[in-house]
């Protein structure tokens, strides 16, 4: 619509310019016509004065003055409104507007309408594309936010599982170490008890054997030393 208004304004300005261009030519034409009529009137007055008598010289001069006034009255004032000139100018303006309206206005208006419709469609399509892109971006951002939250949840779950497995491994290792320690302690105690029992048995056997030997014979001091040495030697061999 704005293009149409601009085009109508241009046509009006063009018509006014054409009217102003045609007006001086019409004024010159009217002035030339009036000047021609004045010259003819002056020639008639001059012929009348030549055929008159000298007694009518003063009257002839009066006729010449009247002819001069008529000639002088033939000048056209450009500022004065001439109805004929106005009608001609208006007719030319209307004719020009009719021609422009028929041969220029309709194709130009059609082209402007098509152009305006095309621009409107392009703007609407651009808005639709922009809205679709905005919606797509929002969807992607939402999906990214959901994926980030899901990844965070998975990482938290994996961290919890790792901590739980770590604690299980530590508990298992500690339990195994404690069991191994208890087993070793039990084995040590068992070995110690067995060794003590064996030592006690051997000590008793040695004492009994030594007592029997002492009872069987009277021993001298050298015999006592020899018997003790034999007992110790026997105990060492048994171990």
Express each pLDDT in 139-188 by its tens digit: 989 999 888 888 989 999 999 999 989 899 999 999 999 999 999 999 99
Most confident region among 45-54, 95-104, 142-151 by mean pLDDT: 142-151
Q: Say which residues have a Cβ less than 8 Å from residue 16's Cβ, sequence separation at least 6.
A: 93
Binned at pLDDT 50, 70 and 90, residue 113 comes out as: confident
**Rounded Cα distance, 93 and 17, in Å:** 10
More confident residue, 130 or 90: 130
pLDDT (tens digit, 9 = 90+) per residue, 70-82?
Answer: 344 445 455 566 7
Higher pLDDT, 117 or 42: 117
Q: How confident is the model at residue 116 (pLDDT cuts 50, 70, 90)?
A: confident
Distance from C-alpha of 90 to C-alpha of 159, rounded to nearest angstrom: 95
Task: Please choose, from the candidates 208, 196, 199, the residue with its C-alpha nearest in 3D space to the C-alpha of residue 235.
Answer: 199
Provide the greatest CA pair distance for the chain: 230
- Among left, alpha and beta (phi > 0; psi -120 to 50; other), residue 77 is beta
Cα–Cα–Cα angle for 81, 84, 90, rounded to 5 degrees: 90
pLDDT of residue 23: 52
Could you count the other beta carbons within 10 Å of the beta carbon of residue 67?
20
Q: What pLDDT shows up at residue 124?
A: 93
221: left (phi over 0), alpha (psi -120 to 50) or beta: alpha
Q: Report how far Cα 167 is from the mean position of its chain's Cα atoms.
A: 51
Better-scored residue on pLDDT, 90 or 205? 90
Q: Is pLDDT above 70 for 132? A: yes
Q: What share of the chain is helix, strand, coil (3-state, %, to 5)?
A: 90, 0, 10
Q: Across residues 97-102, what is the average pLDDT?
A: 79
């Amino acid at each position: 619509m704005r293009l149409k208004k601009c085009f109508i304004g241009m046509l009006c300005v063009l018509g006014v310019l054409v009217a102003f261009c045609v007006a001086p030519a019409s004024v010159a034409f009217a002035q030339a016509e009036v000047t021609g009529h004045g010259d003819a009137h002056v020639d008639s007055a001059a012929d009348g004065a030549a055929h008159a008598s000298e007694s009518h010289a003063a009257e002839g001069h009066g006729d010449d003055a009247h002819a001069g006034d008529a000639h002088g009255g033939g000048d056209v004032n450009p500022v004065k409104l001439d109805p004929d000139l106005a009608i001609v100018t208006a007719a030319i303006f209307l004719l020009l507007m009719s021609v422009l309206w028929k041969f220029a206005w309709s194709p130009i208006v059609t082209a402007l309408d098509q152009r305006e419709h095309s621009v409107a469609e392009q703007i609407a399509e651009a808005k639709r594309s922009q809205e679709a892109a905005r919606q797509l971006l929002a969807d992607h951002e939402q999906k990214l936010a959901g994926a980030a939250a899901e990844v965070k949840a998975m990482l938290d779950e994996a961290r919890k599982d790792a901590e739980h497995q770590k604690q299980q491994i530590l508990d298992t290792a500690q339990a195994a170490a404690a069991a191994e320690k208890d087993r070793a302690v039990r084995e040590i105690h068992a070995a110690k008890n067995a060794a003590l029992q064996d030592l006690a048995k051997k000590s008793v056997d040695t004492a009994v054997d030594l007592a029997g030997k002492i009872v069987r014979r009277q021993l001298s001091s050298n015999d006592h030393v020899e018997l003790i040495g034999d007992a110790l030697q026997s105990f060492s061999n048994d171990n």
